[in-house]
Homo-oligomer: A and B are copies of this chain.
Amino acid sequence: MWLNHMELLEGVEILIVDLDGVVWVGGRVIEANVKALSRLQERLQIYYATNNSTRSRVDYASKLRSLGLEASEERVITSGRAAALWLKRFTDARNVYVIGEEGLKWELEVEGYNIVDRGLEAGAVVVGLDRRLTYGKLVEALRAILGGAYFIGTNPDHILPEEEHVIPGAGAIIAALETASGRKPDVIVGKPNPWMVTSTLGDVDYGRVVVVGDRVDTDVELALRIGAKSILTLTGVTRSLDGEAYRRLKEAGVVVVKDLEELLPTA
């Protein structure tokens, strides 16, 4: 029914693999995918790219290594990292008001940004998932945005899957500030924004890249935008597809797998 999966990986040099919904869901590791990745890493360069900004690259690399996956800090891309690189490349802001968690703050600080407590002191506002969001943080961020600060969203995800249910994503918090301020973010750096990948990988041949993820609107869309191939694994947000959705993905060249073990040669 689909492309021959081994054929899909012919000529491929780089896999860009999503984390939530691919390597784990909430606290549960997706064993089949980890097993497949530990095989695939023997012949491919694997980067891990997550729209989740709550942890730093260092945290994720360490977690991935604990699962037996090769992952240095340089092989992990978070939307927090992409936000720091965007600020550095496109703005002269130095003071940043952050709605987000420790990982996001770390990524900004490591690039030399000052995290400020008051919106009015900020040249930029970076908004990511913050499970300690309060009304007071929205007030400060709104003041900064209305005061003319850059308005950067880490990622557009409306929700984040947990084991039992879903929780509001960065996209929901961004929507609140967009509504209050009447201003759209200057940029949302996470997937499907190509910046998420190009800011770290630079000028590689994206025809030799495959994006692996559980979401059509972020992972598959990113692949389409950078001219890469893509694999949708039904282990996260997308658990099943109706016939029409399958047909459209197939037409777009997307390979859909139950899990990544389908990519391995059968013994």
Contact = CB atoms under 8 A, between A and B. Distances in A.
A154 to B, nearest CB: 15
A171 B177 CA distance: 10
Nearest to A169: B180
Contact of A135 (B131, B171, B179): B131
B139 A168 contact: yes
Contact of A180 (B131, B132, B135, B158): B158
Contacts of A142: 159, 166-168
B180 A159 contact: yes
Copies of this chain: 2
Nearest to A165: B143
Given A159-B180, A175-B179, A133 B143 contact: no
A158 B134 CA distance: 17
A63 to B, nearest CB: 23
Given A176-B176, A177-B172, A139 B167 contact: yes
A234 to B, nearest CB: 20
A262 interface: no
A146 B158 CA distance: 13
B135 A133 contact: yes
Contacts of A174: 179
A176 B168 contact: yes
Contacts of A167: 139, 142
Interface of A: 130-135, 138-139, 142-143, 146, 158-159, 165-169, 171-180, 182
9 contacts: A133-B133, A133-B135, A134-B135, A138-B172, A158-B182, A168-B176, A168-B180, A172-B180, A175-B176
